[in-house]
A and B are shown apart, each in its own frame.
Chain A
Amino acid sequence: MPQSPLLIGCASGFSGDRSDGAAAVVRTLAAQGGGTLIFETLAERTLALAQLARNDDPRRGYEPLLDELVAPVLADCLRHGISIVSNFGAANPQGAALRIAEIAREQGLPAPRIAIVHGDALNAPEQRALMKEKLGAALDGLDIVSATAYLGATEIAQALAAGAQIVVAGRVADPSLTLGPALAHFGWDPADWPKLGRATMAGHMLECGLQVTGGYFCVPGLKDVPDVDSAGFPIAEIQADGEFVIGKAADTGGAVDARTVKEQLLYEVHDPARYLTPDVVADLSHAHVVELGGDRVAVRGITGHARPAELKVNVCYRGGWLAEAEISYAGVQAEARARLAADIVQKRLGSAFKLRADLIGAISILGDDAGEMRRALPDSHARDVRLRLAGEHADRAQAERILREVTALYTCGPAGGGGVRTALRPRLNMLSCTIPREAVHSGWNFLEEIAP
Chain B
Amino acid sequence: MTQANQTVAVPLYRLAHSRSGDKGNISNLSLIAWDPECYAALEAQVTETRVADWFAYRHPTGVKRYTLPTLHAMNFVLDGVLDGGVNDALNLDTHGKSLSFRLLDMTVEVSAELARRLPDIPGDRPAAA
A contact residues around B32 at 8 Å (CB):
259, 262-263, 266
Does A270 contact B70, Cβ atoms closer than 8 Å? no
Give CA–CA (A219, B19) in the complex, Å: 12
- Give which listed residue, B30, B89, B93, B99, contacts A266 with CB less than 8 A: B30
Give CA–CA (A345, B15) in the complex, Å: 43
Does A216 contact B19, Cβ atoms closer than 8 Å? yes
Does B86 contact A44, Cβ atoms closer than 8 Å? yes
Comparing B45-53, B71-79, B109-117, the segment that makes contact with chain A is B71-79
Please give the distance in Å from B113's CB to the nearest CB on chain A.
21
Tell me whether B6 is interfacial, beta carbon within 8 Å: no
Does A266 contact B28, Cβ atoms closer than 8 Å? yes
- Chain A residue at smallest Cβ distance from B26: A270
B contact residues around A289 at 8 Å (CB):
71
Interface residue ranges of A309-339 to B (CB < 8 Å): 319, 322
Does B75 contact A272, Cβ atoms closer than 8 Å? yes
Give CA–CA (A354, B17) in the complex, Å: 34
Please give the distance in Å from A399's CB to the nearest CB on chain B.
12
A contacts with B, residue count (CB < 8 A): 54
Does A365 contact B91, Cβ atoms closer than 8 Å? yes
Please give the distance in Å from B126's CB to the nearest CB on chain A.
12
Interface residues on chain B, size class: 35 or more
Does A301 contact B26, Cβ atoms closer than 8 Å? no
- Chain B residue at smallest Cβ distance from A43: B86
Interface residue ranges of A404-427 to B (CB < 8 Å): 427
A contact residues around B101 at 8 Å (CB):
366
- Give which listed residue, B18, B19, B68, contacts A285 with CB less than 8 A: B68
- Give which listed residue, B57, B58, B70, B122, contacts A288 with CB less than 8 A: B70
Does A286 contact B28, Cβ atoms closer than 8 Å? no
Does A222 contact B26, Cβ atoms closer than 8 Å? no
Given A45-B87, A372-B57: A222 in contact with B66 (beta carbons within 8 A): no
B contact residues around A373 at 8 Å (CB):
57
Does B90 contact A354, Cβ atoms closer than 8 Å? yes
Give CA–CA (A364, B77) in the complex, Å: 23
- Give which listed residue, A222, A265, A365, A392, contacts B71 with CB less than 8 A: A265
Comparing A4-12, A231-239, A428-436, the segment that makes contact with chain B is A428-436
Given A223-B17, A288-B70: A268 in contact with B87 (beta carbons within 8 A): no
Please report A residues at the B interface, Cβ cutoff 8 Å: 44-45, 216-217, 219, 221-223, 259, 262-273, 284-289, 301, 319, 322, 354-356, 358, 360, 364-370, 372-373, 376, 388, 390-392, 427-430, 432
Interchain residue pairs with CB less than 8 A apart (15): A221-B124, A222-B13, A266-B73, A269-B75, A273-B66, A284-B68, A289-B71, A301-B70, A365-B91, A366-B101, A368-B58, A392-B90, A429-B87, A429-B88, A430-B87
Besides A222-B13, A271-B66, A432-B24, 7 other A-B contacts (C-beta < 8 A): A267-B30, A272-B75, A287-B68, A360-B92, A368-B58, A368-B59, A373-B57
